[in-house]
Structure 1
Amino acid sequence: MKFSSSLKFNAVADWWDEYIAYDALKKYIYQLEKSQHVQSSYTDLETNERTALVDRSAETDAVFVPLLDAELEKICKFYEKQETELLNEVTELEEAVQQQETAGFGEDPYADVPYEDDEDDDDDDDSVSHSPRRRRRVSSSGHRMSLSVSGARSRTDDVRRSVSSVSSDGHGDSPTSPTAPVGTLGRIANKLTPDFMRHSATSEMLRDTVWTSKTEFAYDTRLLFKRRITTLYISITSLKSYVEVNYSGFRKILKKYDKVTYRELKDTYLHNTVETANPFTAASRATLTTLTARLVDLYAKCVTRGDHSLAKQQLRLHQRENIAWERNTVWRQMIGRERHGEGGATVALEELALQEEGSEKPGTLFRVGRLRVTRSKVAMVVAVAIFSALLAFPVVEGGPQNRCFAILIFCTVLWATEAIPLFVTSLTVPLLIVCLSVIRDDNGEVLSPKAATSVIFSLMFSPTIMLLIGGFTISSALSKTNIDRVLITRVLSLAGTRPSTVLLAFMGVSCFASMWISNVAAPTLCFTLIRPILRTLPPKSSFAPCLILAIALAANIGGQSSPISSPQNLIALAAMDPPVSWGGWFAVALPVSAISLVLIWGLLLVSYRPARSPDGGRDIEIKVIRPTRESFTLKQWWVTFVCLVTIALWCVARAIEGYVGDIGVIAIIPIVAFFATGILKKDDFEQFAWTIVFLAMGGIALGKGVERSGLLDVLGDLIRRTLHGASLYQVVLILSPIVLVISTFISHTIASVLLVPIAKEIGSTLPQPYPNLLIFITGLICSAGMGMPVSGFPNQTAATQEDDLGVLYLTNVDFLKNGVPASIIATLVIATIGYLLILATGVH
């Protein structure tokens, strides 16, 4: 959680204006960053050249430190005021407890205080039964004490009835008066006869103290002091939290200041200024600790009959309940839903806005009464209709083959339209395959549902799926230990200030990161790193959209560079027989990716001319990204070692096959190494992209269903007749644009699920079979479909990037103008250079 969100979440609502103005200080830092970048490069009047050799960053301290001082002064004044009030209230409470303890039953300390009617006392403890009407007395300290004047307990009634005949001696009101204070019972007791004193219940009452007695007055007294002690305890703990949160605020904002302006102010200011201020000294902490201890003592005396352990437990429980109550607001619940991916806040706000405008939600076609007809519902109806028609009217010869064809078309429509979540469609594949009796054995006999279940589930959880989970583990470990950010910033620090060089450096980093931390996380990380650059660019600079689009396109290219960089690569590997080794994959994919990257970089330079200033002046200079100064920790070295060993074993998996069996077994190594040593936790495992895992499992199941049902043989005959006489390279040229178009408009993973089996069958039907070659090319081209904003995760992430005013950096025109040519370039590289490299490596 960002500190600005954490501050809102942990702050006391009534004190909000008294906390450190973290967001305002952060904006000042960004303004200083921009001015610092402008001032650092100036024009030399003698040589008429721009230079960046002058470092004026120290001037920012003179601007920023007074802002910090003002915030610190505000916090100190507020703290001193609260501390003084709390000290006085605790002292006053102790005096009141002592006075009540001294008075006991003999004198009511509130007897001379007038009553104040309170018909509706909703603050009473619901766990205790009270009289229907209560009256309150106001103490000299301003606190209100609830006393019952009716519904007294049986022993009190006995006392009143017993003394009703005793004449008054002039001290206080008549005991039978309905308004007589309960505290006069002590004076009444002096007039009791010896026989009455021998009454066991009354004797027990008189032996009790006000803190242990079961009388109504004693109960009300304890309840009053319990509430006052609890309220003060919560106030003191809130003040403690106020100090801690503000100290964290100073530490966080100084850390951000040092990081953005490349200064080293944090340690000096914290130690010399913040920690010497009154709220943050050891003496102040000791004062608050002493106050809480005094309240625990009072609570133990007044409520828990001297049990300090129980007193601490109950006070902490009250504190937790208070915090939970304060945080249990609508907007906090909406934040929680957003955090869990439900999009509660966004959806609620969008629906409210649409209701106010009288508009329909996006995707609504029309309404039939109260039924809202959407595109997804229409797509679902169309898919079911086609599925039912194909089952009722066979179009493929053979029962299992036709049923499998119906499943294939049904899932294709759902995947293409996303009528339901993609992974849900994948989960329907084994359900339909088993229930419709699609799987056959080697003799062509249809398997029973039980036998088909065993076959299809054993195929779904394959070594390929284990490899995918191992890749998620490596990605999570690299991100959690900050290794990815450390390595990336060190590489980017060498890029300099020239826009073209910075652009190529970011593209290389995005591509490389996508190989190991997935092409979903890599662009997100890069977009975070370019924020300082975007903030210092001139308004309307073309470098901003150019850089964002370049990162997305490079991440797509990185998706083809390693076997674990994207699910489509794993699906291609699973379909190969035998699967290509990691070394063989790198031998083809790395040169193809590098060439594609350089050509796309040239395309973006020509299209955007990012070095040119918006006003037509001199070329812009890019803010230098400096590497993090933290050295590698033992934990980071351990993660690096395990990752390198795992990757090395994957590369030589073919040679050690007799020992490990399959690369999926090697994938278990990082899982055990990271989770067993505490690098990763249970929560990290739960946050893996399990939807992608099930998507890949459904794809594998569908591919095996097409194969084991006999549908693949039917398609093979059709393809063989269609491509009769075509050479291998002609088939490559025909297949490549088909794969590119499909992968541009639907998910890359779904494209591979649908097209890899077809490519395998096409390759098998050729005069000289090359199934692995066509599978390899299909898997690579699936990652090259990047011509639209919806083409893959990197493009979708890039399309949502906004500037400080909320304006999107990229439009559909940017993708059409640059993404489509980039897709064509990458496909041509794969179909030419990639094709030759695959032949050279002996993949067939």
Structure 2
Amino acid sequence: MKFSSSLKFNAVSEWWDEYIAYDALKKYIYQLEKQQHGDSLPYRDLEANEQAALLGQAARSDTDVLFEPLLNKELRKIELFYETQEKEQLEEVADLEEHVNRQEEDGLDGALRYLDHPDEDEYDEDDDDSISRSPEGRRRRKLSTSSRRNAPGGNGHEAGNSLQQNRLSISSVDTVDSEEPPKSPTITRLATRLGSTIGETLKDSFTSAAAPDTIWTSKSNYAYDTRLLFKRKITTLYVAVSNLKSYIEVNQSGFRKILKKYDKVTYSELKDRYIHEIVEKSYPFTPEAKDHLSGALQRLVDLYTRCVTRGDRHRALAQLKIHQRENIAWERDTVWRQMIAQQRRGEVEDEPMTIGALYKKPGPGLFFIPTPLGTIRVTKKMIYKIIAGIIFVTLLNFPVVDGVQANRCFAILIFCTFLWATEAIALFVTSMFVPLLLVVLQVIRNDQGEVLSRPAATKWVFSVMFSPTIMLLIGGFTISSALSKTNIDRVLITKVLSLAGSRPSTVLLAFMGVSCFASMWISNVAAPTLCFTLIRPILRNLPPKSAFGPCLILAIALAANIGGQSSPISSPQNLIALQAMEPPLDWARWFAVALPVSGISILLIWVMLLVSYRPARSPDGEGFIEIKQIRATKERFTHKQWWVTIVCLVTIALWCVAHEIEEYVGDMGVIAIIPIVAFFTTGVLKKDDFEQFMWTIVFLAMGGIALGKGVMASGLLEVVDGILRDAVEGFSLYSVVLILSPVVLIISTFISHTIASVLLVPIAKEVGSNLPGNHKNLLIFITGLICSAGMGMPVSGFPNQTAATQEDELGELYLTNIDFLKNGVPASIVATIIVSTVGYLLMLAVGM
């Protein structure tokens, strides 16, 4: 969570203006960055590096002079507010202690004195108001001498009002805490008039009691009302003091965060000096101030123990904590959840096809159909769902291929393919149709050709869905999560990028290499997102309409797609290809093919982008731009980071030699358990991290594996085998590669890369089985690699989709469809040619 969001989440709403102005300070930092970069790095010839560096050093000292007064102003604001609040709240705690002591001295006699003199003092409405204030401490007021005189145990009227109001409006102990004493003068006068009648009853109750009870243990109505009154006052004050303590903690984090941001953006070293010499010596942040608040909280716990829990301090503390949590949940969490819900509702483009979604006020749609029950909103996805249903029913009832089970499997294949291609429903939901339909329609046959019963088919289909490949995928997610959570990915990436210098072409190649490498280990979904975050300082300091911005964003996306083919766990399509190989390919041979192919593709795409965009030229075409250099992080590796690094390296090494140690580990899926156990047992990852894994991808892959196995078990593959054998008869292996490559590229460009592999890997496997020499693993490998090369459209893969949404400071998109067509399509063709030439030769060299 960003600190600006965390600040809103943890702040007391009524004190919002008294917190550090984090967003305003951050905006000013970016202005200083632009000023610093504009003064020190004008658009000049690249030979001016030395002079620019000297100017930059001078500018960094100037930014401190400009920024420190703003920090001092915020610090002074916090000091004044805190001192006022602390004085007020500590006085209230002291007054409340005195109030409790006076009440304890008066004991139960206070009730009798009240009954004898019910009209001695005027009702103090302000004192009652101090009871009913909100948990945030609104309308906080010091207890005056008159309010103490009117409190329970004195001769005042408040006890009688509290007593009689509870008689009139409170029926049980369980609900009394939520009732607020009315403040209306009319009610007050009514309670006074009724006092004599109720008082007679109370006199009898008090005079007849023989047990030596105290005000804190008596079961009388007066004692109960007194304890209730003090319970409310203590809990309210406890929450107020806790809020003040949280106020200091949040602001201290705010200074630390904003100074860290300042040092990172302006290359300064102000943080440590300002924190230690200024912030920590300011009174609100001193140990003395913290001790005052901690002492006040302990005193309130003691009072609650005396007045409410009859000496049980542990129960007192637990109840006060519960009250504090309820306050946070109601006042903050509820608002936060509403904000998130509104944002999510704004992002939803289409709703599930339910009765509630159909019969509602018309929203965006293709057209509307009025009905007696309301207006049906017809959307594009709804039409796709209807078409898919019609296709499925038609294919089930009209034999297209020979064999009942084969025809049913063909209907399932076309039905799921259509839903996957149109994304009428979520991709992973479509995958879940596969086991459902395979079992219900009795598609699965055994080795003897007999149709399996539904219970037997259920066991079979679920056994093939959760395969070692799925475990490998989960292991990859675990490594990715650990690298991201421990910040290892950012540390390594910034160190590499800091070496790139300021020349645009070098920076472009460095980011492409980093994006590709990161995609190998933290997935090609998270890697471009991380890179887009790192380039924000560069984009902010580019001249308007500079070609380097869109060029850099597109380069990161294309490199992330290439990175999706570089390691077995970098994308689901690679794992699907591994699943289909017989025997499975070890990691060493995968790297021997994929790394050279990826490296050559990155270099060629880099040259192509330089020619297309000419990113080094300034927008006016009269000079060259120089890029703001990324600074490497100064943080040293922690023990946790070293632990994660060692586990990851050991796991990868074992994957590389999996075939050699197969006798001891069984399969690569078993090796994938090592990082899961190592990280979750040592606390590197938590249960929440496990829940955040991309389980939709897991279920998508499981459905794809089940469909592939179903095609084989239903007999459909035998039918396809005959067709493919006739189609490739007389062609050489390389001719088949040249025919298959463009087909895979076209399909993977327009539909999900993972879905393309689900559909095409079984075909490649069957084609390879029919060729002399049994080169099915080679064709499967080529198909898996080319599936990642389809990147000619904005919707072609997650990296492209992420890049297409990047906006500048004015809210305009950096990339258009023309950028993808002009550069993405040629990049796809280049990558495919590399796979089908260099990759093909390397596959033969490693014995495929």
Q: TM-score, normalised by structure 1?
A: 0.87
Name the CA shift for 1:43/1:465 in 2 (closer, same or farther; >3 Å).
closer
Partner of 2:172: none
Alignment check: 8 A CA contact 1:466 1:665 kept? yes
Match for residue 88 of structure 1? 91
Distance 1:209 1:4, change over 3 A: same
Mapping for residues 185-584 of structure 1, pairs under 5 Å = 202-204=207-209, 207-335=212-340, 343-344=344-345, 346-347=347-348, 361=363, 364-369=366-371, 370-584=375-589
Question: Is structure 2 residue 804 aligned with structure 1 residue 805?
Answer: no
1:167 paired residue number: none
Q: 1:41·1:51 contact (CA, 8 Å) conserved in 2?
A: no
> Quick one: distance in 2 between partners of 1:151 and 1:781?
77
State the distance in 1 between where 2:537 and 2:642 align.
28
Written as runs of structure 1 = structure 2, the 5 A alignment for 1:146-185 is 146-149=161-164, 178=193
Compute the displacement of 1:478 (Å). 1.3
* Per-residue CA distance 1:630-661 (angstroms, 9 max, x = gap): 12222222222221122122112222222222
CA distance in 2, matches of 1:3, 1:320: 21
Check the 8 A contact 1:787/1:820 in 2, yes or no. Answer: yes
More helix by share: 2
Aligned residue identity for 1:218: A
Is 1:616 aligned to 2:621, yes or no? yes
Q: CA offsets per residue over residues 505-554 of structure 1, 9 Å max, x none? A: 00001001111111111111111111111111112211111111100000
Aligned-partner Cα distance in 2 for 1:317–1:177: 36
Q: Following the alignment from structure 2 to structure 1, what is the Cα–Cα distance between the partners of residues 309 and 543?
A: 67
What residue number does 2:677 align with? 672
Equivalent-residue separation in structure 2 for 1:734 and 1:177 (angstroms) = 98
Separation (CA, whole Å) in 2 of partners of 1:73 and 1:469: 51
Alignment-mate amino acid for residue 114 of structure 1: E
- Local SS of the residue matching 1:611: coil
1:367 counterpart letter in structure 2: I
Is the contact between residue 113 and residue 138 of structure 1 (CA under 8 Å) also seen in structure 2? no
Show the counterpart of 1:112: 120
CA contact (8 A) 1:582 1:652 kept: yes
State the alpha-carbon separation in 2 of the partners of residues 251 and 764 from structure 1. Answer: 63
Q: 1:72 aligns with which of 67, 70, 75?
A: 75
Deviation per CA, 1:267-311: give whole Å up to 9, x if none. 211111111111111221122222223333333333334443333
Tell me the amino acid that sits aligned with residue 710 of structure 2. G
Change in CA separation of 1:178 and 1:513 when aligned onto 2, cut-off 3 Å? closer
Q: C-alpha distance in 2, partners of 1:346/1:302?
A: 51
Cα 1:841/1:303, change in 2 over 3 Å: closer
**Alpha-carbon distance in 2 for matches of 1:730, 1:282:** 78
1:643 aligns with 2:648: yes
Give the one of 679, 685, 700 matched to 2:690: 685
CA RMSD of aligned residues (A): 3.2
- Residue 593 of structure 2 corresponds to residue 588 of structure 1: yes
The letter for the 2-side match of 1:4 is S
Distance verdict in 2 for CA 1:560–1:362, change over 3 Å: farther
The residue aligned with 2:51 is: 51
Moved more, 494-503 or 456-465: 456-465
TM-superposed CA distance for 1:613, in Å, is: 1.1
Worse-matched range after superposition: 418-427 or 780-789:
418-427
Q: CA deviation at 1:609?
A: 1.2
1:58/1:381 CA distance change after superposition, 3 Å: same
Taking only the aligned residue pairs, the percentage that are identical comes to 68
Tell whether the 8 Å contact from 1:149 to 1:178 is kept in structure 2 after alignment.
Answer: no
Equivalent pairs, count: 789
Pair 458,112 (structure 1): closer, same or farther in 2 beyond 3 Å: same
Once the 2 structures are TM-superposed, how far is the Cα of residue 767 of structure 1 from its aligned partner? 4.6
Q: Cα 1:807–1:110, aligned 2, differ >3 Å: closer, same or farther? A: farther
- What are the ranges of 5 or more consecutive residues in structure 1 without an aligned counterpart? 126-136, 154-175, 190-198
SS at match of 1:367: strand
CA distance in 2, matches of 1:368, 1:152: 57
What's 2:38 paired with? Answer: 38
Give the aligned partner of residue 169 of structure 1: none
Aligned 8 A contact 1:468 1:693 in 2: yes
Amino acid at match of 2:466: F
CA distance, structure 1, for counterparts of residue 567 and residue 48 of structure 2: 48
Q: Is the 8 A contact 2:550 2:815 kept in 1?
A: yes
- Pair 1:27–1:350, CA change in 2 (3 A): farther
Amino acid in structure 1 at the alignment position of 2:254: G
1:657 aligns with 2:662: yes
Distance change in 2, residues 1:586/1:75 (3 Å): same
Match of 1:61 in 2: 64
Using the alignment, how far apart are the partners of 1:49 and 1:433 within structure 2?
66
1:549-581 per-position Cα deviation (integer Å, ceiling 9, x unaligned): 100000000001111111111111111222222
CA-to-aligned-CA distance 1:767-805 (integer Å, 9 cap, x gap):
554222221111111000011111111111111112222
Greater mean alpha carbon deviation, residues 81-90 or residues 288-297? 288-297
Cα distance, 1:629 vs structure 2: 0.9
How much does 1:411 deviate? 0.9
Deviation at 1:149, TM superposition (A): 4.5
Give the gaps of 5 or more residues in structure 2.
Answer: 134-144, 152-157, 169-190
Contact 1:562-1:589 within 8 A present in 2 as well: yes
Q: 1:328 to 1:205 in 2, by over 3 A?
A: farther
With 627-636 and 297-306 compared, the bigger mean Cα shift is at 297-306
Secondary structure in structure 1 of the residue aligned to 2:810: coil
| 1:679-828 pair list within 5 angstroms | 679-828=684-833
Checking the alignment, whether the CA contact within 8 Å between 1:492 and 1:502 is kept in structure 2 is yes
Please state how far the C-alpha of 1:690 moved relative to its aligned partner: 1.3
For residues 432-473 of structure 1, what are the alpha-carbon distances to aligned partners after superposition, in whole Å with 9 as ceiling and x for unaligned?
112222222222222222332232222222221111111111
CA apart distance, 1:184: 8.5
Report the alpha carbon displacement of residue 712 of structure 1 after superposing the two structures with TM: 1.2
Q: Residues 348 and 202 (structure 1 numbering): CA distance in 2 closer, same or farther, change over 3 Å? A: farther
For the structure 1 residues 181 and 58, does the alpha-carbon distance in structure 2 shift closer, same or farther, using more than 3 Å as the test? Answer: farther
Cα contact 1:366–1:373 (8 A) shared by 2: yes
Structure 1: distance between partners of 2:521 and 2:814: 27
CA contact (8 A) 2:43 2:624 kept: no
When structure 1 is superposed on structure 2, of 367-376 and 1-10 the one drifting more is: 367-376
Higher Cα Rg, which structure: 1
Cα pair distance change 1:348/1:138, threshold 3 Å: farther
